[in-house]
Structure 1
Amino acid sequence: MYKTILTPRVSETDGVGHINNTTLPVWFEAARNPLFDLFTPDHDFAKWKMVIVKTVLEFTGQIYFGKDVAVNVWVKKIGNSSLELYEELYQEGNLCARNTAVYVNYDLDSQKSEKIPEAIRQELAKHLWEEKDK
């Protein structure tokens, strides 16, 4: 599991004091930085590999300004050229949102998916989601 701690900002808070629902996809993406490092270590967008093709976000609790959040990211499935992530967001120990995201290892020049390299597969396998992790 990859774990990221984020501090909510005032600008992410809506008129009723909650973190705005449009903020969570950005937070989940921020927690994926270790995965982006695997696929494109130099962060050169001309060589970027991870292309998101699906995300499903479920809100399970309210999130507030002034209290850090923890985002946990697991690899749920490793395919030939794609991977599925399972993610959870907690504030004060309470599950506030869960998300799944599917990425494809993609070559921008050829506009085609590519097989995930074995070294990356081995690293991803260290972060596989298991029911016991929940």
Structure 2
Amino acid sequence: MYKTVITPRVSETDGVGHINNTVLPVWFEAGRNPIFSLFTPDHDFSRWKMVIVKTTLEFMKQIYFGQDVEIQITVKKIGNSSLELYEELYQQGILCARNSAVYVNYDLAKQAAERIPDHIRAALSAHLCKESAMEKEKLS
């Protein structure tokens, strides 16, 4: 599991007093930095590989300024050229949001998807999830 701690900023707080819902996709993306580094270690955007094709975000609890959040990311599925991530956001140990994101390993120069290399598959496989909180919840 990949984990990232984020400290909410005042500017991310909306007029209702909680973190604005437009902020969470950015935070989840920040949690993906270790995965981006697998595909493009030097972070050179001219050779960037990870293209997002789908994301599904579910809000469960409000999130507030003044308390760090933790993003937890697991790999749900590794396909030929794509991968699906399952992500959760916690504040004070409480699950506040969850997200799934699908990325394609993409060659910008060729404008085509390409197979995920074996060494990256191996690194991602170490973070495969067994059972997500969403699946556990469905069973309850």
Give the superposed CA RMSD: 0.7
- Counterpart in 2 of 1:19? 19
Structure 2: gaps spanning 5 or more residues = 134-140
CA–CA distance in 2 between the matches of 1:121 and 1:21? 32
Deviations 1:32-66 (A, max 9, x none): 00000000000000000000000000001010000
Query: Structure 2 counterpart of 1:129, which letter?
Result: C
- Counterpart in 1 of 2:72? 72
Percent of aligned pairs with the same residue?
A: 74
Structure 2 residue 75 is the aligned partner of structure 1 residue 40: no
Corresponding residue pairs, total = 133
CA–CA distance in 1 between the matches of 2:35 and 2:21? 24
Q: CA deviation at 1:115?
A: 0.1
Structure 1: gaps spanning 5 or more residues = none
- Counterpart in 1 of 2:85? 85
- Counterpart in 2 of 1:123? 123
State TM-score, norm by structure 2.
0.94
CA–CA distance in 2 between the matches of 1:77 and 1:17? 36
Q: CA deviation at 1:27?
A: 0.1
Q: Which runs of 4+ in 1 moved over 6 A?
A: none
Query: Structure 2 counterpart of 1:15, which letter?
Result: G
CA–CA distance in 1 between the matches of 2:96 and 2:65? 13
CA–CA distance in 1 between the matches of 2:129 and 2:3? 13
Q: CA deviation at 1:16?
A: 1.2
